[in-house]
Amino acid sequence: MSMSADLPITLVEPVHLPAAPTGPVLRVEALRKSFGKRVVLQSVDWNVPAGRVIGLLGRNGAGKTTLLRCLLGLSPIDGGRVEVLGEPMTEPGGERMHRIGFVPQTFDLFPWMKVRAYLDFTAAFYTRWDHTLTARLLESWQLDPKQKIGQLSQGQRQKLAIVRAIAPQPDLLVLDEPVASLDPQARRAFMTELLSLMRQPGKTVIFSTHITADLERAGADIALLRDGRIQFMRPLAELRESFVRAVFSRPGGWPHTPEVAGLLKASASDTEMHMLLEDADLGALHTLASELGASLRIETPSLEDLFVELA
């Protein structure tokens, strides 16, 4: 299956969907995935609770797309276990797929179909398809229902993929760089719809993106994928409280980096020493500044700063 493939559609009769599980929406244990000799995911452990927006961050090539496809059964895994909505995920299909929406990085399917025909065709397979929402989004996002998908721009195809993913009112929405091709106005409109969806009880979004401002607007929990593992997952507010940047200034330069508890990264210029610290002792930092004959400035790094420093 190509990396741009959408979740496959399985013809089923309308079903009564079971209640959402009381445990995590997603449970991953010791997940491993390689392509030939290249290890992409190694021993990934990850639990995602219901009712949150999760921002999945990682550098290009970190394995974010691979991880999301493994979670949805779109890519076979080499080891470990994935449980989605309370059941093991081995491949997409069955009643559970009525409750999952997916927006891939690119949408290149059904180029011969017109937008309206594609959405009507897709709606027939879902029990909770919101036709009113679909019509509103087509109008507000300026998608011509009579235009063929193959004639849409990349940004328009991405909008269509988003409509197709959220119209079934999914309990779990998985988004792989969904706004990469959208202009700022379209991205803001999408985020408005996403936040509206999240106001409904029990809805969960996993959102892979490099646009950290969108995650800040959503008040997302941040999960960092690095070195084939989820290094941490924390609420954004907690991240802001946990990390600080200490800037020491003095003439004469910095021949070496002072030892500081919680130091994650340091860089020096002719007059300044910048330190990124976790759970810093501010009193100890002021004492150190006095001992070094330096002035001290404490800054709160933005999510983008943290991503650049930690990813």
Query: pLDDT tens digits, residue range 14-34?
Result: 444 444 445 789 999 999 999
C-alpha to C-alpha distance for 57 and 77, rounded to whole angstroms? 21
Number of separate domains in the chain: 2
Q: What is the mean pLDDT of residues 134-150?
A: 93
C-alpha to C-alpha distance for 277 and 177, rounded to whole angstroms? 29
Question: Do residue 204 and residue 144 come from a single domain?
Answer: yes
Taking residue 247's Cβ as centre, other Cβ atoms within 10 Å add up to 16
What does the block give as tokens for 287?
A: 């004492």
Question: Do residue 63 and residue 119 come from a single domain?
Answer: yes
- State residue 215's pLDDT score: 83
Q: Does position 203 have pLDDT exceeding 80, yes or no? A: yes
Q: Output the domain CATH number for residue 187.
A: 3.40.50.300
- Quote the domain boundaries for residue 295: 241-310
| E strand residue ranges, 119-191 | 172-176
pTM of the model as a whole:
0.82
Q: Is residue 9 part of a domain?
A: no
% of the chain at pLDDT higher than 90: 51
Q: Is residue 141 part of a domain?
A: yes
What are residue 26's DSSP bridge partners?
A: 48, 84
C-alpha to C-alpha distance for 71 and 84, rounded to whole angstroms? 8
C-alpha to C-alpha distance for 277 and 264, rounded to whole angstroms? 6
Question: Do residue 58 and residue 175 come from a single domain?
Answer: yes
- Contact call for residues 240 and 221 (beta carbons, < 8 A): no
Question: Do residue 94 and residue 217 come from a single domain?
Answer: yes
- Which of 154 and 181 is assigned the larger pLDDT? 154
Question: Do residue 200 and residue 304 come from a single domain?
Answer: no
Mean pLDDT score of the chain: 86
Q: 121-156 burial string, b = 16+ CB within 10 Å, else e?
A: ebeeebeebeeebbeebbeebebeeeeebeebeebb
Question: Do residue 245 and residue 211 come from a single domain?
Answer: no
Question: Do residue 251 and residue 102 come from a single domain?
Answer: no
What does the block give as tokens for 157?
A: 């195809």
C-alpha to C-alpha distance for 112 and 110, rounded to whole angstroms? 5
